[in-house]
A and B are shown apart, each in its own frame.
Chain A
Amino acid sequence: QVQLVESGGGVVQPGRSLRLSCAASGFTFSKSAMHWVRQAPGKGLEWVAAIWYDGSNKYYTGSVKGRFTISRDNSKSTLYLEMNSLRADDTAVYHCARSMFDNSGFDAFDIWGQGTMVTVS
């Protein structure tokens, strides 16, 4: 079935790095723009980063620019988020999500993963 499964979360010290992965299945990953969205404990949703279906464009929220890098491997149907210089306020559940229309950029998110927890402490 259509699904996204995140991995790579954990507990990390401030200033260190972590790489998250999101494995996609059940749809043509190479046609979908992808996103990372995070949710701090007890808080709302925050969009983090986006990458176009072909990797040609990448976008970031201001607080992670220069620290986080979004990438994808369409041959492996996998999305990544490389997180450097982690801070306590990066602590959150990180979800990957799919833009709902093929070969487009920004769209609503019709498929979400369950998320992976990142704790910076």
Chain B
Amino acid sequence: EVVLTQSPGTLSLSPGERATLSCRASQSVSSNYLAWYQQKPGQAPRLLFYGASSRATGIPDRFSGSGSGTDFSLTISRLEPEDFAVYYCHHYGRSPLTFGPGTKVDIK
């Protein structure tokens, strides 16, 4: 099973600042089968990136995904008020699929 570790657990930032979220896998993720989701309270998760760096439909370009192997990151270049949420990384290469514990980005 691929165990995903996300850091930090909470990121306290102000609008306009840059956010960098990390996701580390316990073993190499084949073909970069790594996705990122955003979830706001009371809502379903929303796909941001798949294949580590391919932006999903409708995702603003202030969001970027990168990484390979065991180390992946999600960057938000300038935080907008609507970006304050919980972000999850997700390995989907093989069963069991796994999620990281999440990083909460909250307003400082």
Instruction: Assess whether B99 is in contact with A106, with CB atoms less than 8 Å apart.
Output: no
Interface contact B95-A100, CB-CB below 8 Å: no
Interchain CA distance A108-B100 in the complex, whole Å? 14
- Rounded to whole Å, the gap between the CB of B92 and the closest CB of chain A is 5
Q: Flag if A108 contacts B35 (CB, 8 Å).
A: yes
A46 to chain B: which residues have CB within 8 Å? 99
Establish whether residues A45 and B96, one from each chain, have CB atoms under 8 Å apart when the complex forms: no
Contact, CB under 8 Å: A100 / B50? yes
- List 20 A–B pairs whose Cβ atoms lie within 8 Å, in order of A's numbering: A35-B97, A44-B88, A44-B99, A44-B100, A45-B90, A47-B98, A47-B99, A50-B95, A59-B96, A61-B96, A100-B50, A108-B50, A108-B56, A108-B90, A108-B92, A109-B37, A109-B45, A109-B47, A112-B45, A112-B46
User: Does the CB pair B44–A113 fall under 8 Å?
Assistant: yes
Q: Please state if A44 and B95 are interface contacts (CB–CB under 8 Å).
A: no
Complex Cα–Cα for A62 and B88 (A): 21
- Interface residue ranges of B27-72 to A (CB < 8 Å): 33, 35, 37, 39, 43-47, 49-51, 56-57
Q: Which of A35, A45, A47, A110 has the most CB of B within 10 A?
A: A45
Query: Which B residues contact A (CB, under 8 angstroms)?
Result: 33, 35, 37, 39, 43-47, 49-51, 56-57, 88, 90, 92-102
Q: Let me know if A59 and B88 touch, CB within 8 A.
A: no
Beta-carbon contact of A110 and B56 below 8 Å? yes
CA distance A112 to B47 in the complex (A): 9
Closest residue to B6 on the A side, CB-wise? Answer: A44
Q: Which residues of A contact B33 (CB under 8 A)?
A: 106
Judge if A72 is at the interface, Cβ distance under 8 Å: no
Q: How far is the CB of A24 from chain B (nearest CB, A)?
A: 14
Within the complex, what minimum Cβ distance (angstroms) separates A93 from chain B? 9
**Closest Cβ–Cβ distance, residue B41 to chain A (whole Å):** 11
Compute how far the CA of A113 lies from the CA of B43 in the bound complex, rounded to whole angstroms: 9
